[in-house]
Structure 1
C-alpha cells in the first residue's frame, strides 16, 4: 500500500527537524576540524553522521512529496578554516546538550507522526541519538569533565507533606531532590549559553549581533547566579564548572544567520526547560522565579526573531494557500 500524503502536522514537524539538523551539521563540521582529543572527535563525528543522515532523509521526503525543500543551512554558513574558538570540553558539552535536545525533538516529532516510513525514520534516529547521549556521558566521565549534580544526605524514611506551608513562597524549606535536579540542569544549560554568547560576540562583525550576544551572555550569567543563590540558601554546594572555555580568536566560524538562529533554538529550549521546572517545583517562590525568568528569555528570543527578519534570514515554515486572497483576485478580474 503506497504511503498517504503527509499531514499538516507531519510537514511542520519535519520542516523544523530539517532546519535544526542542517544547522547542526555545519556546527559539527567545524568542531570535527578543530577538536584535538581523538575520543571527543569520535563523539562529534557520531553526532555529525546522525544529523547528516537525518538532513538527507528529510530532504528526500520533501522532494518525494513535491514540497519546497527548505533552504536551511549549508557550507556557506560555516568557515572550517577559522581558528579554534572553543575548547574540546566545550564541544563535548555542546554535543551532550544537542543529544538531549534531539531526544526531546525526535520523540515529539514521532508522537505527532502517523506515516509508517516517517515513524521508522524517527524511531531509528531516536535510537541513534540515545546511543550518542550515552557515549557523551561515558566520555565526559572518563575525561573527568562531566558536571555532576550535588550530593546530599536524604531522610531515612518516607514522609507525607503535613501542611500547605510546604508550598509557601514565604517559608523557604530545604529543596527537595526533584527541585534540585531542575535547578542543576538549568545552571548547566546557562553555562553553555554564556560560553556560546561570549564566543559569538567576539567574532561577529555586526554591531547589532554583538550587542545581542552580549545581552544573551548577561542573561545567562544572571540566571546562573539566581539558581546558585537558591542552592546556597539550602546550604547545598553548587555544581563546579568544567574546563570548557572560549579562546581569544576573533574570526567567525559561522555565519551571523546561523548564530542568531542557534540562539532562537536555545531560547526555545530554555523556555521549555523553565516551564517543566516550574511545573515540577512545589515551592511557589521557585515557580514564580521560573515564570519571571521565562519572560526575560521570551523577550530575548523575540528580539532575535526581529534581527532575523531585519536581515532577511527568517525562513517561513510551510503554510496553507490563502484561498481568501485568491478569491479577492478572481473577483477583481
Structure 2
C-alpha cells in the first residue's frame, strides 16, 4: 500500500477487524451446532466474509504500522458446548448480521480515500449482499421468514394538507415508511431478546447475567410498544415462532465476548431508532423513538461500564498526546 491511511480509514478498519474477529468465533460455534444443511451453508458464507474482513483489515493495519486489536480468539468460544439456539434463530442472526454489514461497509466505503481500501469495501459489499440474499431466500423457502405486514394502499397521490397529519393527538393510520421502521425494529429486538435470554442462562457471572436480563426485558418492552402502534392502526404484524433458546446452561462463549456482542447490537439499535425518528411524520412516533433511544443509550453505558471494570474494552487508535511529550522536556 503506497498511500498513508486517513483517520477515517484507520477508525473503520480497526473497528471492523475487532468486530470481524468476534463474528468468526460466534459463527464457528453456529457451524458446530446447526442441524439444517441449507442454513449451515448460509452460516458458512457469513463465516467466509467475516474471515476475509478480518484478514484484509489486519493486512492494512499492519501495512500502516498501526496497532492490531487483541480482540477475540479461539479461547473465547467453547465449540463443545451443547446447542443453545434453534436453527431458525441462527438464520435470523445471520440475516441481521448481513443488514448491519451492508450499512457499516457502505459507510466505510463512502468515507475512504485510498484506492485499495475502497476496492476492499466494494468487494466486501458484494459478498455481504450475496450471503444476505441467500439468508432471506433460504428463510422464505423454509417458511420461517418473518415478513412485514401487507396492507391496502390508496391509489391516488395525496399531499399533506395541514399539521394534523403530524399531530400526536389525532393519530392517523401509519404510513408505509413508518411501518417499515416499526417492523424492522420489532424483528431486531426479537433477536436481541433471545440472545440475551440464552446468554443469561449460560453465564457464570451474576453481573453479566443481570446485564443480559435487563437487555431481554428492554427488548420485550420495546417490542410491545412498537406492536401497540400497529394495533392502534388495526394492523397486526406477523411474528415468527420457530426461533427459540434451548435449555442448555453451558456457556458457548466467554463473558467478554457476549457483553461485547450485545453492546454492538445495542449500538446498532440506537442508530436504527435515530433513523426511524428522522423518517417518521407523526410526532408521537418521533418522541417514542427518542425516548427509547435514551433508554437504549443508558443500557449501552451499562455494557461499557462492565467492559471497563473487567478490562475488556480496547482503546481505538488515537492521536499522539503531545502534552505528555511536552512534559518530558526538562529544564
Q: Same fold (TM over 0.5)?
A: yes
CA RMSD, Structure 1 to Structure 2 (Å) = 0.8
1:55-111: CA deviations, max 9, x gaps? 011111121211121111110111111000000000000000000000000111111
1:61-210 paired onto structure 2 within 5 Å: 61-210=60-209
Q: How many residues align?
A: 331
Give the Å deviation of 1:295: 0.4
Q: Could you give the per-residue CA deviations for residues 101-145 of structure 1, whole angstroms, max 9, x where no partner exists? A: 000001111111111111111110000001111101100000000
Q: Which stretches in structure 1 are left out of the alignment for 5+ residues?
A: none
Q: CA offsets per residue over residues 240-299 of structure 1, 9 Å max, x none? A: 223000000000101100111111111110000000000010000000000000000000
- Pairing of 1:1-333 with structure 2 (within 5 A): 3-331=2-330
Q: CA deviation at 1:37?
A: 0.3
Q: TM-score, normalised by structure 2?
A: 0.99
Tell me the CA shift for residue 239 of structure 1. Answer: 2.2
Q: Distance in 2 between matches of 1:240 and 1:303?
A: 29
Q: 8 Å contact 1:89–1:242 — kept in the other structure?
A: no
Report how far residue 325 of structure 1 moved.
0.8
Q: Which moved more, 1:311-320 or 1:235-244?
A: 235-244
How far apart, in 1, do the equivalents of 2:255 and 2:216 lie?
16
- 1:201-252 Cα deviation digits (max 9, x unpaired): 0000000000000000000000000001111000001222230000000001
Which portions of structure 1, spanning 4 or more consecutive aligned residues, are displaced by more than 4 angstroms? none
In 1, Cα distance between equivalents of 2:61 and 2:89: 34
Provide the secondary structure at the position in 2 that maps to 1:330: coil
Which TM-score applies when normalising by structure 1?
0.98
Would you say the 8 A contact 1:87–1:246 is kept in 2?
Answer: yes
